[in-house]
Amino acid sequence: MRIGIVCPYSFDVPGGVQNHVMDLAEALITLGHQVSVLAPADEDSPLPEYVVSAGRAVPLPYNGSVARIAFGPVSTARVRRWITNGDFDVLHVHEPLTLSLSLLAVLSARGPVVATFHTAMTRSRVLAAAQGVLQIVLERITARIAVSALARKVQVEHMDGGAVEIPNGVAVAKFADAEPLPGWPGECTPGTGGTLGFLGRFTEARKGFPVLRDAFVELAATRPDLRLLVAGPGDPDDLYDRFPAALRERVTFLGLVSEPDKARMLRSVHLYVAPNTGGESFGMILTEALAAGTTVVASDLDAFRRVLDGGRAGRLFPTGDAAGLRDALADLLDDPAGRAALSACGDQVVTNFDWPVVARRVLEVYAAAIEATDGRVIDQEWVGLG
């Protein structure tokens, strides 16, 4: 099958959607399909061979963070040329309601169009101003995929349509086989030791780092060998200032890590902690930690509860409750058997998220979209008639 995938965000910056698109494309190629990915990228940035650049992206503040997107007449021309040259059986766009290549592609194409909705955000503010425009965009889409139950709920309630729920995939092998960082995780001596991990922007309130900080500070007082491994964007001084001077040497900060280092980081801790206080629609990092075989302790958000199979595959604690987190951590650090039981269940859960499995479900949606439209994906003047 010839598949065209559009990624709205630039591959120059790492991000959930970008990773999803790359992993999906690679899984589909492995299954024997021809895949072309259109994405914004700087001229000189190294790209996988299946990616076609649609030109430079401009940074725009969006949905609480900064997105780098491409939009405008030049981008439109490139999108249309790509569609014409690609001769695709199906077009798969991601986040089509952002002002981006995805939106341009949806408006330019006729034929089987599949759209994946990642965020639980209701809709773009620009589009919200014009319900009619929103309808025109949605009408061009043949089948919709939501990566989480929350994203699907938004589809049903706000966009007047259903969506097939297919979770984010995770490249299980990449995580399961990663080598831990030298010297980590060390011994988890009951009563004294253990290492905790946190990955994400520690300055962002909804990531819940302060909850983990409070729990760590309290727990470190009674456990002299407890260590904390933090990865993510941010200033080291800003991070260390958050801890009492005596504890700083027990906190290790890796900064922003690459994908392979992320896998190594997840294999380097006894417990991975996800103290998020909201704003998560899926919880990708949890599936990655499970794939790495690490025990997960997460706040009791809907999305997390689903991934962790209601608490069978990882420990849940009341959202935002530092004392609850502290008790859960102390309990699990002293209970190797309990950790092993959670991990074993996690291994089982994570097979549902393995990319080959997820990609085959996506292919079934492609088939359903192709059946409901005649012909291939063709370029079509979108402001024009008909």
Q: Which residues bind other proteins (CB under 8 A)?
A: 31, 135, 138-139, 142-144, 160-164, 351-352, 357, 360-361, 364-365, 367-369, 371-374, 385-386
205 or 344: CB nearest other proteins = 344
Give the DSSP per-residue string, 77-134. HHHHHHHHHH--SEEEEESTTSSSHHHHHHHHEES-EEEEE-S-----HHHHT-HHHH
What separation in angstroms does the CA of 217 have from each of 73, 200, 204? 54, 19, 19
Q: State in angstroms the smallest separation of the CB of 224 from other proteins.
A: 44
Quick one: which of 84, 289, 119 has its CA closest to 196? 289
- Tell the smallest beta-carbon distance from residue 89 to other proteins (Å): 15
Closest distance to other proteins from the beta carbon of 361 (Å): 5
Closest by Cα among 315, 295, 19 to 168: 19
| DSSP string across 58-86 | EEEEETTEEEEE--SHHHHHHHHHHHHHH
Q: Do residues 382 and 106 touch, judged by C-beta distance below 8 A?
A: no
Pick 1 or 217: Cβ nearer other proteins: 1
CB of 194 to other proteins, least distance (A): 33
Q: Find the shortest distance in angstroms from Cβ 383 to other proteins.
A: 9
Cα separation values, 137 from 99, 302, 366, Å = 12, 29, 18
Comparing CB distances to other proteins, the nearer of 252 and 380 is 380
Q: Which is nearer to other proteins, 55 or 356 (CB)?
A: 356
Which one, 39 or 369, has the nearer CB to other proteins? 369
